[in-house]
Chain A
Amino acid sequence: MRRFAALLAALSLASAQAKTDLQVVWFTEAPAEQTIFDKYVLMYEKANPDVDVSVTYVPFQQLTQKLQLMVAGKTPPDVARVVTANIAEFDPVASDLGKYTNGTTFANQFLSSQVPYIKKGNRVIGAPLDVTANGLFYNKDCFREAKVAVPTNPLRPWTWAQWRQALETVTKNSKCRFGLSFDYTTLRFSTMLYQAGGRYLDASGKKMAVNTPQSERAIDFFADMVKDGLIPRSQWLSGEDPSSLFKSGLSAMYMSGNWNLTQLSQVKNFQWGVAPLPKDKIRSTVPGGKFLMGFKDSRNPAEGAKFIQWLTGKDINIAFSKDNMTLSARKDARGVKYGTFDDEIAIYQSDLSITPSYVGRDWSNPAMAKINTFIRDQIVKVLLGQQTSKQALEAITAEGNKNLK
Chain B
Amino acid sequence: MNYRTRKGLVPYLFVAPNTLIFSLFVLLPMIYGLGFSLFDGNFTTGLGNFVGLQNYQELLQDGAFLRALLNTLWYVGAVVVMVVVLSLALALMLKETTLASSIARVGFYLPVILSPVVVGVAWRWMFGTELGIINALLTMTGGSPIPWLTDVTWARVLVTLASVWSMTGFYMVLFIGGLNTIPTDMYEAAEVDGASPAQRFWKITVPLLVPTTMLVTILATINAFKAFEIILVLTSGGPGDSTKLLVQNIYQSAFEGGNPSYASAQSVVLFAVLMLLTFVQTRIARED
Contacts and interface: CB of A to CB of B under 8 A. Distances in A.
B191 to A, nearest CB: 52
A370 B258 contact: yes
Interface string A173-189: 00001100000000000
Interface in B148-176: 149-150, 152, 155
B256 interface: yes
A380 B128 contact: no
B43 interface: yes
Contacts of B252: 373
Given A72-B46, A234-B129, A238-B235, A380 B155 contact: no
A85 B77 CA distance: 38
A245 B132 CA distance: 12
Contact of A234 (B46, B64, B128, B258): B128
Given A89-B258, A373-B256, A381 B240 contact: yes
Interface string B115-145: 0000000001000111100000000000000
Given A65-B255, A238-B149, A240-B130, A380 B239 contact: yes
A68 B45 CA distance: 11
A245 B240 CA distance: 21
B130 A386 contact: no
Contact of A238 (B44, B129, B257, B258): B129
Interface residues of A, number: 31
Describe B's contact surface by its main secondary structure.
loop
Interface residues of B, number: 28
B229 interface: no
Interface string A367-386: 00110110001001101101
A370 B240 contact: no
Contacts, number: 77
Given A68-B255, A369-B258, A373-B257, A239 B236 contact: yes
A370 B128 CA distance: 31
Contacts of B33: none
B131 A377 contact: no
User: In the complex, which of the residues A178, A233, A240 has the most CB atoms of chain B within 10 Å of its own CB atom?
Assistant: A240
A335 interface: no
A375 to B, nearest CB: 12
B132 to A, nearest CB: 9
User: In the complex, which of the residues A64, A238, A245, A381 has the most CB atoms of chain B within 10 Å of its own CB atom?
Assistant: A238
Contacts of A384: 152, 239-240
B177 to A, nearest CB: 38
Contacts of B238: 237-239, 380
A93 interface: yes
Given A68-B255, A369-B258, A380-B239, A92 B130 contact: no
Contacts of A232: 129-130
Interface in B218-276: 234-236, 238-241, 252, 255-258, 260
A90 interface: yes
A234 B150 contact: yes
User: In the complex, which of the residues A71, A383, A384 has the most CB atoms of chain B within 10 Å of its own CB atom?
Assistant: A384
A370 B262 CA distance: 14
Contacts of B255: 64-65, 68
A380 B46 contact: no
User: In the complex, which of the residues B129, B238, B252 has the most CB atoms of chain A within 10 Å of its own CB atom?
Assistant: B238
Nearest to A251: B130
Given A68-B258, A71-B44, A233 B129 contact: yes
Interface string A54-90: 0000000000110011011000000000000000011
Contacts of A372: 256
10 contacts: A68-B258, A92-B44, A93-B44, A233-B147, A237-B150, A238-B149, A238-B236, A239-B238, A240-B129, A373-B256
Given A383-B239, A386-B240, 6 more contacts: A68-B43, A72-B43, A233-B130, A238-B238, A240-B129, A370-B258
